Amino acid sequence: MYNKAYTKMKRFSSYFCAVFALALLFSLTPSSADSHEKFVQCLYDYPENTSISSVVYTQTNSSYSSVLDVSIQNLRFFNVSSKPVVIVTPLVVSHVQATIICAQRHGLQIRTRSGGHDYEGLSYVSGVPFVVVDLIKIREIEVDVENNTAWVQAGATLGELYYTISQKSRTLGFPAGVCPTVGVGGHISGGGYGFLMRKYGLAADNVTDVHIVDVNGNLLNRKTMGDDLFWAIRGGGGASFGIVVAWKINLVSVPSTVTVFRVPRTLEENATGIINKWQRVANKLNESLTIRINMARVNSSQSGNLTVQAQFESLYLGRADDLIPYLQKNFPELGLVREDCTEMSWIESILFMAGFTNGQSTDVLLNRTQLNGLSFFKAKSDYVRDPIPDVGLEGLWPFFFDDEAENAFVQFTPYGGRMDRISESETPFPHRAGNIFHIQYGVSWFEKGDVAAQRHVNWIRRLYNYTEAYVSKNPRSAYLNYRDLDIGVNNNGHTSFSQASIWGFKYFSNNFNRLARVKTRVDPRNFFRNEQSVPPLGTNGRK
Ligand SMILES: Cc1cc2nc3c(=O)[nH]c(=O)nc-3n(C[C@H](O)[C@H](O)[C@H](O)COP(=O)(O)OP(=O)(O)OC[C@H]3O[C@@H](n4cnc5c(N)ncnc54)[C@H](O)[C@@H]3O)c2cc1C
Ligand SMILES: *[C@@H]1O[C@H](CO)[C@@H](O)[C@H](O)[C@H]1NC(C)=O
Ligand SMILES: *[C@@H]1O[C@H](CO)[C@@H](O)[C@H](O)[C@H]1NC(C)=O
Ligand SMILES: *[C@@H]1O[C@H](CO)[C@@H](O)[C@H](O)[C@H]1NC(C)=O
Ligand SMILES: *[C@@H]1O[C@H](CO)[C@@H](O)[C@H](O)[C@H]1NC(C)=O
Ligand SMILES: *[C@@H]1O[C@H](CO)[C@@H](O)[C@H](O)[C@H]1NC(C)=O
Ligand SMILES: *[C@@H]1O[C@H](CO)[C@@H](O)[C@H](O)[C@H]1NC(C)=O
Ligand SMILES: *[C@@H]1O[C@H](CO)[C@@H](O)[C@H](O)[C@H]1NC(C)=O
Ligand SMILES: *[C@@H]1O[C@H](CO)[C@@H](O)[C@H](O)[C@H]1NC(C)=O
Ligand SMILES: *[C@@H]1O[C@H](CO)[C@@H](O)[C@H](O)[C@H]1NC(C)=O
Ligand SMILES: *[C@@H]1O[C@H](CO)[C@@H](O)[C@H](O)[C@H]1NC(C)=O
Ligand SMILES: *[C@@H]1O[C@H](CO)[C@@H](O)[C@H](O)[C@H]1NC(C)=O
């Protein structure tokens, strides 16, 4: 019955289908007797494509664990007991459509995974019976150098995207994240930033079209999805709204030669004073220049004691000969000299920032394994609107000397430039003008078990508690792509707008209201949900 209906559905326009299919789905309320065998049979019976049987992995399949584990990027979620009943690795859109239809029919939740970098593992861990749709095989990239655009499928990584662009042009780039293994599916739908943000904005700001499969199994594009859904998935996270299959993006110009540096300054070398000055200039510098700071503990060369090192990492879209006098004038405290600087192509700067500093070939960008391997990891984020005074920084340093902080970092990323000229409601990502910089706090560890995990998580929570006085307030803001379940979760899957508001306004500010309205239109029964998904409004728009 549903087969016939869905074949028929495809002939109608998307808005019509949405209404039609909704009525249909109400008659398909899953019964608890349904098992994953029936779900798998449903996939096999899906009309459009029989080859789906080659991409369905049940728990008894000998490849199940390797398929699940290959994209897990955080050891905290490696051996969890709540694993998917089935993993589907679609080859084509019809496999995605079949999985969405059959999962609803048989009472299974879907978690969509592209690169698997979600900090809380939400793309492959769930407390209820669920299916992982893993887009690892949907990752083609087509670069159009004539029009400076590209179509990139959701399962591609940033490294694959940057590599493919560089094969076509030395003077085109894309403003997205630093780590090449990150998936474009999650990254772009949650914002996505890197060293080109001050000049070109976020990855999501440079999306011009999207292909997404909605809860009714319809493949939509920018025209057919409606302006509100197109708005929502460029910063609001894809997971609440459907399964993104591909993005069309604008490529941006980069000069054929750029300059990078990485300049370390310890506390003994006046790191506190230099950071103080950085906070007053970093967001006002020429937008072709981005200087971010990575703070971590190191052994002091002077005393053999521990100290904190602030590493000033920078990309300048120009030559070193222009950069040095510019910084001597605007940020002399850093003491940059010619020897600190290296000129290279933009793609080489991607390797440099990703930590490939031994002259590796750009092929390493195609490797989906993180350079330094995996660790147990927890992170949090903040935005800063007024400079943190020296006393605030000085209170931060002792945290680095705690045992738990051996592999911890605090990263300051400057805003300003293009980010100041994009309105807060242009996309769901609200952190624009008024922010001087963004903070990420992270802690890694290698010791297994709950005790070690709890110690490290407690450490970062204490640090976060300490910095409260110095960061954005009402709400204390956070970056969706640095997912943090500490800031609030939906109530046991029974989502309410008021419960979700606890975390929703931190990630999205007032855009959260509009996100909930979009959700209400496109997924009113809240099929696409997770611990921090956007909830639909209750009947009659009730909050
Ligand atoms: C090592 C590392 C480095 C990072 N560096 C940066 C950085 O430089 N800049 C930055 O901005 N961020 C960075 N991030 C954060 C990163 O942007 C987010 O974790 C992002 O969500 C990862 O996308 P993914 O596809 O790899 O993750 P996934 O875990 O696959 O997905 C993340 C979320 O998006 C959903 N999702 C994934 N694919 C789709 C899809 N196709 N359709 C709908 N929903 C989907 C998932 O269900 C999940 O909710 C980094 C993360 C890590 C682990
Ligand atoms: C069916 O899947 C194969 C790959 O497995 C693909 O080549 C073909 O185009 C698909 N057909 C449809 C109608 O999606
Ligand atoms: C595992 O699943 C794959 C993909 O569906 C299939 O090709 C393979 O035959 C299965 N293997 C086993 C042992 O079931
Ligand atoms: C996962 O479990 C296996 C088997 O018990 C164990 O060998 C491995 O060390 C565990 N890995 C992590 C990250 O806990
Ligand atoms: C560039 O865009 C135009 C207009 O959309 C299109 O006709 C042309 O084919 C595109 N160029 C390439 C190389 O695809
Ligand atoms: C996106 O890309 C284009 C280049 O095509 C660039 O000019 C623009 O400034 C970028 N950013 C935004 C926010 O539009
Ligand atoms: C440290 O930096 C501050 C501000 O940049 C500066 O005023 C101060 O003189 C510096 N202190 C030393 C000892 O260099
Ligand atoms: C910023 O840097 C670019 C690249 O070097 C340069 O062309 C531009 O003139 C600079 N702008 C200002 C305001 O200094
Ligand atoms: C720092 O010193 C400790 C103790 O002397 C040593 O074990 C550790 O390897 C050193 N770390 C680095 C990065 O040199
Ligand atoms: C070593 O570091 C600690 C913590 O910052 C500090 O209290 C102590 O004075 C330092 N000792 C030396 C010899 O520098
Ligand atoms: C990919 O990178 C990992 C981590 O650096 C490395 O161990 C592995 O050998 C690389 N794989 C290939 C095919 O180069
Ligand atoms: C956070 O700090 C406040 C005081 O500033 C304190 O009352 C509270 O216990 C702290 N919480 C944690 C988890 O450290």
Where along the chain do its domains lie? 2-137, 258-344+375-470, 488-541
Provide the pLDDT for residue 301: 83
What is the average per-residue pLDDT within 331-358? 97
Is 288's C-beta closer than 6 angstroms to any atom of ligand 8? yes
Type and span of the H or E element at 294:
strand 289-299
CATH class of 258-344+375-470: alpha beta
CA of 315 to the centre of ligand 10 (A): 34
Q: Which of 278, 184, 205, 241 is nearest to 432 (CA)?
A: 205
Provide the pLDDT for residue 23: 32
Ligand 8 atom nearest the C-alpha of 318 is 5
- Residue 469 makes CB contacts below 8 A (sequence gap 6+) with 392
Q: Which of 286, 289, 331 to mutate to test the pocket of ligand 8 (most atoms within 8 A of CB)?
A: 286
Model confidence at 542: pLDDT above 90: no
Q: Which residues of 502-539 are buried (b: 16+ CB within 10 A; e: fewer)?
A: ebbbbbbbebbebbbbbbbebbeebbbbbbbbbbbbee
CA of 299 to the centre of ligand 10 (A): 11
Q: For the chain, what is the mean pLDDT?
A: 93
Model confidence at 385: pLDDT above 70: yes
Provide the pLDDT for residue 49: 66
Whole-structure pTM value: 0.93
Percentage of the chain lying above the pLDDT 90 cut: 89
Topology of the domain covering 2-137: 3.30.43
User: From atom 14 of ligand 10, which residue's Cα is the shortest distance away?
Assistant: 303
Choosing from 316, 464, 482, 507, the catalytic residue is 482
Ligand 11 atom nearest the C-alpha of 373 is 4
Provide the pLDDT for residue 8: 29
What is the average per-residue pLDDT within 28-45? 74
CA of 389 to the centre of ligand 10 (A): 22
What is the widest separation between alpha-carbon atoms in the chain?
77
Could you tell me the pLDDT band of residue 2, with boundaries at 50, 70 and 90? Answer: very low
Provide the pLDDT for residue 251: 98
- Residue 33 makes CB contacts below 8 A (sequence gap 6+) with none
What is the average per-residue pLDDT within 140-169? 98
The radius of gyration computed from the CA coordinates of the chain, to the nearest angstrom, equals: 24
Pairing type for strands 252-253 and 376-384 reads unpaired
Q: How far apart are the first and last CA of the chain?
A: 36
179-216: per-residue pLDDT in tens? 999 999 999 999 999 999 999 999 999 999 999 999 99
Give yes or no for a contact between 160 and 114, defined as CB atoms under 8 angstroms apart: no
Model confidence at 145: pLDDT above 70: yes
Could you tell me the pLDDT band of residue 21, with boundaries at 50, 70 and 90? Answer: very low
76-131: per-residue pLDDT in tens? 999 999 999 999 999 999 999 999 999 999 999 999 999 999 999 999 999 999 99
In the structure, how many helices (H) and strands (E) does the chain have?
17, 18
User: What distance in Å separates the CA atoms of residue 315 and residue 282, rounded to the nearest whole number?
Assistant: 13
Is 273's C-beta closer than 6 angstroms to any atom of ligand 8? no
Lowest mean pLDDT among 12-26, 38-52, 454-468, 523-537: 12-26
Could you tell me the pLDDT band of residue 33, with boundaries at 50, 70 and 90? Answer: very low
Could you tell me the pLDDT band of residue 543, with boundaries at 50, 70 and 90? Answer: low
Provide the pLDDT for residue 289: 98
Lowest mean pLDDT among 247-261, 290-304, 489-503: 489-503
Percentage of the chain lying above the pLDDT 70 cut: 92
- Residue 449 makes CB contacts below 8 A (sequence gap 6+) with none
User: What distance in Å separates the CA atoms of residue 37 and residue 77, rounded to the nearest whole number?
Assistant: 26
Could you tell me the pLDDT band of residue 540, with boundaries at 50, 70 and 90? Answer: very low
Provide the pLDDT for residue 17: 29
**Residue 482 annotated as catalytic:** yes
